[in-house]
Amino acid sequence: MIFGDIPWIRSQIIHKIILQKTSKKRSWKFRIFSFILKLCLVGVVILAAIILYYYSVVSSSSLEGENKWAAPAVIYSRPFELTVDQNLKYEQIIKELLFLKYRQVKDPKHSGEYAISSDKTKIVIIRRAFEFPDEKEPIRPILLKFTKGILSAIQSADDLTNIEYIRLEPVLLDRISNNNEEDRLLISISNVPQKVIDTLIAVEDRKFYEHHGINPIAIIRAFVANIKAGRRVQGGSTITQQLVKNYFLNREKSMDRKIKELFMSVIVDARYEKSQILEMYLNEIYLGHGSSDIYGFGLASYYYFGIPVDELTWEQTALLVGMIKGPSYYDPRRHPDRALTRRNLVLKILLDAEKITQNEYEKFIKTPLGIIDSKQNFGSIRLPAYVSLLKDELSTKLGADYLSKYNGLRIFTSLDPQVQVAANSSVEKVVKDLAKRYKKKDLQSAVVVSNWRTSEVLAVVGSSDPAFPGFNRVTKSQRQIGSLVKPAAYLTAFENGWHLGSVVHDAPVTVKLKNGQNWSPKNFDHKFLGWLPLYKGFASSRNVPMVRVGMSFGVDKVIDTLHALGVTSNIEPVPSTLLGSVAMSPYQVNQMYATLATEGFYKPLGAVRSVDVGGNKVIFDRTAILDGKQVVDPRSAYLTIVGMTYVTKIGTARRLTANFPQKIIAGKTGTSNNSNDSWFSGFDENEVVTIWIGNDDNTGTSLTGSSGALLVYEDYLKKRGIQSLTLDVPEGIKQVYFDVNGYIIDDSSCEIDPKTMIKLPVREDMISDAQVHKCSTFIEDLWDRGGDMVNEGIDTIKGWFN
């Protein structure tokens, strides 16, 4: 049958229609699925691109390098060296411990602690570890013993073995940096105590070691809490996020910045070890504002407590970690109540986290904040003039761009904190009194103290206000030095046949100048004393004798001596140079006197001992380049020093001997025309001190060297102490007697009369026959008497015949 298959055909048609509908339906779903798949692939590509981009940002950042931050240069003092033969006083050691912010306790166990016996005969110190330029020295307990207040023994506190030499770390003085550079002290995670890490994680990021840069649960929890409160009351940022936000991003609050932060936090967490992230965070976090912004725990621990980060206590750590939430709001100096509340909250968190015990918690919350005065951290020793000198020297040694060229410099200087504090105090006290007494309100001062044995600068004061950071008169001010030139002039005289006992006529003298005019110098007291031995003219700083002596061999030779002693400025060869018309800075004067103190061995003054980069590469070492040379005959220099001791015994500085009997000091006062400048420069067994007082406008001060600068030196010695000068007598020096006429007495033929003669050193090679007075021998006397008798007899006989 032709149509017998109609049902089958119908079914086939229906099936086809159903398949077409199903196919259309499947095609629509497939297209949607395909679109979504492609969209996901594009998202993955975009996400990968974003991740790669931010990974490249992180990887190409300075986090990958050694110099993650532009760290300022750090300035250290000299280390405090201890040996028994130094005669160190108990008070000196206690002062140094205070400078170093060591903590006095009953039973010292930790670095930076010390204890004193009840009778003050023993001090136990747990010396800090420190990486000195030459080697790294560990924590070490030492025992110091004293006899009559003087250090008599140094021992290991562990086994009581004797120690010949040990040093305490240098004092951290200051930092210097380029403009707009963030202020921080870089620390290594290896030097960070576990209590700091535990506190930081407990407060800021409890899941730090578990998450991968971000903590979604913390973010959701903070979001909900903030929504409920209607304001931001809780944060969900991890330590890694905070690091990323502070290091890579700005403070803008936007969704875009937050997304960047999340991506980069994951990358940083994948890229670095947890310990590395912690170290970067501890160096990066902002913790307040002082003279500049305070970044990192290394600087903050010094700024608020005056100690290195590895000595922070639990309560100190709690305060610093608590301040992260709001460094200005919880500033312990401006808002101590807020800071205390925040600190105690952090301590409660530590208690709950079982990091401290209940007893410790109760003890800690009763502890005061313990914040040091802002002047007692880096600024506790005021030294702007020293830093100014330091910068000039570093620019010369390392180049003007040394701060941008090198990162993380450690500058070790010769500054002695105890000397600097004594100099600061004396200038403040004495100059203030002088200004009031003489009604000179703008009276200024400058002081340089150096160690003449090492030619190192120990202290510098550049103003009557030692804290003034402006014009540094020590190096920048050029003033007439007056009679400070005379030691150089008399040294030249000793080179040209004069002796300390030679006589010179203190009487009117006129010198014809090159311009045809006459110059008639006067003494300060406008008197003339007749014939004087040279040492008395030297001691009394009389002008006319100086001119007579100097003109006998010429001004040019004196100028040559000045240059040999280290004076670098050009000096006009005029007779008034002999009386100090030449202008010098206090620094130049100190150099000249330091060369005199070494008996003519010149070494350039310097403030920098060594410089290294981050404790590794040494880029400057003074000992490696310092050369010295003998510039004048040591015998002449020795005689000059002897003359200077007469200045302090019987001359213009004799008040020093009156105030310090049995002590030998060599020195010289100086006063310029119209008393515009008051000077003193002198030295004891170790230190050369140069002091200037005057007005910046070069007007009169009414002060002489004796009534002005000498008083500052006297007060300084009372504060600092004095070590009597011992003179090394060079070969070729002989002790002889001089008579009142300036002749050297021949002691082999003459009877010595100490009442009318004085014993003085001379250069043997400069003794001429004409300078020696010889007396008759017994045979000569007998012959003379016999001759006289014969002559008398002849005269008698002649009288008979007459």
Show which residues are catalytic: 204, 483
Closest CA to 611 of 309, 377, 403, 306: 403
Q: Are strands 608-613 and 409-413 parallel, antiparallel or unpaired?
A: antiparallel
Q: Residues 679, 683, 684, CA angle at the centre, nearest 5°?
A: 145
Cα distance between residue 181 and residue 332, in whole Å: 24
Collapsing DSSP to helix, strand or coil, 631 comes out as coil
For the beta carbon of residue 496, count every other beta carbon within 10 angstroms.
14
Burial class of residue 519 in the structure, from the number of CB atoms within 10 Å of its CB (0-12 exposed, 13-18 middle, 19+ buried): middle
Q: 287, 323 in Cβ contact below 8 A?
A: yes
- Whether residue 298 contacts residue 185, with contact meaning beta carbons closer than 8 Å, is answered with yes
Q: Which long-range contacts (CB under 8 A, 24 or more apart) does 131-135 make?
A: 131/615, 132/79, 132/167, 132/169, 133/410, 133/412, 133/609, 133/610, 133/612, 133/618, 133/621
Q: Are 414 and 451 in contact (CB under 8 A)?
A: yes
CA distance 236 to 222: 5
Residue position matching structure tokens 């405090």: 80
Integer CA distances (angstroms), 704 to 525, 623, 671, in order: 12, 39, 5
Nearest-angstrom CA–CA distance, 33 and 37? 6
Cα distances from 765 to residues 631, 728, 769, in angstroms, run 19, 18, 11
Determine phi and psi for 154, rounding to 5 degrees. -125, 125
C-alpha distances in angstroms, 455 versus 388, 602, 606, 687?
Answer: 18, 9, 7, 10
Contact yes or no for 130/167 (Cβ under 8 A):
no
